[in-house]
Amino acid sequence: MSNGVQCHCHSCTVRGLMWPAVLITLGVLFLLDRAHVGPFYFSHTWPVVLVVMGLIQLACSVASREGHVDATPPSIPPGVPPVAPPPASTPTPLSPEGR
Protein backbone atom coordinates (compact mmCIF):
# COMPACT_ATOMS: atom_id res chain seq x y z
CA MET A 1 0.00 0.00 0.00
CA SER A 2 1.31 3.41 -0.84
CA ASN A 3 0.86 5.08 2.56
CA GLY A 4 2.95 2.52 4.47
CA VAL A 5 -0.05 0.83 6.15
CA GLN A 6 -0.02 -2.91 5.67
CA CYS A 7 -3.09 -5.07 6.04
CA HIS A 8 -2.73 -8.43 7.73
CA CYS A 9 -6.22 -9.83 7.14
CA HIS A 10 -6.48 -13.36 5.71
CA SER A 11 -7.66 -12.15 2.31
CA CYS A 12 -4.71 -9.79 1.80
CA THR A 13 -2.27 -12.41 3.09
CA VAL A 14 -3.52 -14.98 0.57
CA ARG A 15 -3.44 -12.39 -2.22
CA GLY A 16 0.19 -11.69 -1.35
CA LEU A 17 1.01 -15.32 -2.17
CA MET A 18 -0.07 -15.00 -5.82
CA TRP A 19 3.23 -14.18 -7.51
CA PRO A 20 5.44 -16.41 -5.35
CA ALA A 21 3.11 -19.32 -6.14
CA VAL A 22 3.15 -18.50 -9.86
CA LEU A 23 6.96 -18.31 -9.91
CA ILE A 24 7.32 -21.60 -8.04
CA THR A 25 4.82 -23.27 -10.40
CA LEU A 26 6.67 -21.97 -13.45
CA GLY A 27 9.96 -23.19 -11.99
CA VAL A 28 8.61 -26.67 -11.34
CA LEU A 29 7.06 -26.86 -14.82
CA PHE A 30 10.32 -25.76 -16.49
CA LEU A 31 12.27 -28.23 -14.33
CA LEU A 32 9.98 -31.08 -15.40
CA ASP A 33 10.29 -29.97 -19.02
CA ARG A 34 14.11 -29.85 -18.93
CA ALA A 35 14.53 -33.05 -16.89
CA HIS A 36 12.42 -35.00 -19.41
CA VAL A 37 10.65 -36.77 -16.55
CA GLY A 38 7.59 -38.34 -18.11
CA PRO A 39 5.30 -36.53 -20.52
CA PHE A 40 5.64 -33.14 -18.79
CA TYR A 41 6.39 -30.70 -21.57
CA PHE A 42 5.87 -27.02 -20.86
CA SER A 43 3.87 -26.57 -24.05
CA HIS A 44 1.29 -28.98 -22.57
CA THR A 45 1.44 -28.04 -18.90
CA TRP A 46 1.36 -24.22 -18.97
CA PRO A 47 -2.39 -24.16 -18.12
CA VAL A 48 -1.37 -25.32 -14.63
CA VAL A 49 -0.22 -21.71 -14.04
CA LEU A 50 -3.76 -20.48 -14.76
CA VAL A 51 -5.19 -23.11 -12.42
CA VAL A 52 -2.84 -22.01 -9.62
CA MET A 53 -3.79 -18.36 -10.16
CA GLY A 54 -7.49 -19.27 -10.12
CA LEU A 55 -7.13 -21.29 -6.92
CA ILE A 56 -5.39 -18.41 -5.18
CA GLN A 57 -8.07 -15.96 -6.35
CA LEU A 58 -10.74 -18.34 -5.05
CA ALA A 59 -8.95 -18.66 -1.70
CA CYS A 60 -8.63 -14.87 -1.53
CA SER A 61 -12.34 -14.35 -2.18
CA VAL A 62 -13.49 -16.79 0.51
CA ALA A 63 -10.89 -15.72 3.12
CA SER A 64 -11.96 -13.53 6.00
CA ARG A 65 -11.52 -9.77 5.62
CA GLU A 66 -11.89 -9.21 9.37
CA GLY A 67 -9.40 -6.59 10.43
CA HIS A 68 -8.85 -5.34 6.86
CA VAL A 69 -7.06 -1.99 6.65
CA ASP A 70 -7.99 0.19 3.68
CA ALA A 71 -5.51 2.57 2.15
CA THR A 72 -6.95 5.93 3.10
CA PRO A 73 -6.02 9.04 1.15
CA PRO A 74 -3.80 11.47 3.02
CA SER A 75 -5.80 13.94 5.05
CA ILE A 76 -5.49 17.69 4.56
CA PRO A 77 -3.11 19.13 7.17
CA PRO A 78 -4.67 21.62 9.57
CA GLY A 79 -4.46 25.22 8.47
CA VAL A 80 -4.61 24.44 4.74
CA PRO A 81 -7.76 25.81 3.10
CA PRO A 82 -9.79 23.38 0.99
CA VAL A 83 -9.42 23.56 -2.77
CA ALA A 84 -12.08 25.75 -4.37
CA PRO A 85 -14.07 24.26 -7.25
CA PRO A 86 -13.23 25.59 -10.71
CA PRO A 87 -15.24 28.62 -11.86
CA ALA A 88 -18.32 28.00 -13.95
CA SER A 89 -17.58 28.03 -17.64
CA THR A 90 -18.82 31.01 -19.57
CA PRO A 91 -20.45 30.41 -22.93
CA THR A 92 -18.28 31.13 -25.96
CA PRO A 93 -19.57 32.52 -29.24
CA LEU A 94 -19.10 29.11 -30.91
CA SER A 95 -20.91 27.08 -28.26
CA PRO A 96 -24.66 26.35 -28.46
CA GLU A 97 -25.24 28.40 -25.30
CA GLY A 98 -23.67 31.52 -26.88
CA ARG A 99 -26.22 31.92 -29.65
Write the pLDDT tens digit of every residue in 60-86: 888 888 888 876 655 666 666 666 666
What is the structure's pLDDT at 34?
92
pTM here? 0.60
CA angle, residues 82, 79, 81, in degrees to nearest 5: 15
Q: Give residues with Cβ within 8 angstroms of 15, minimum separation 6.
A: 56, 60
Q: Which residue, among 26, 15, 27, has the nearest Cα to 49 in the 3D structure?
A: 26
Question: Using CA atoms in the order 53, 59, 62, 64, what is the torsion angle rounded to 10 degrees?
Answer: -120
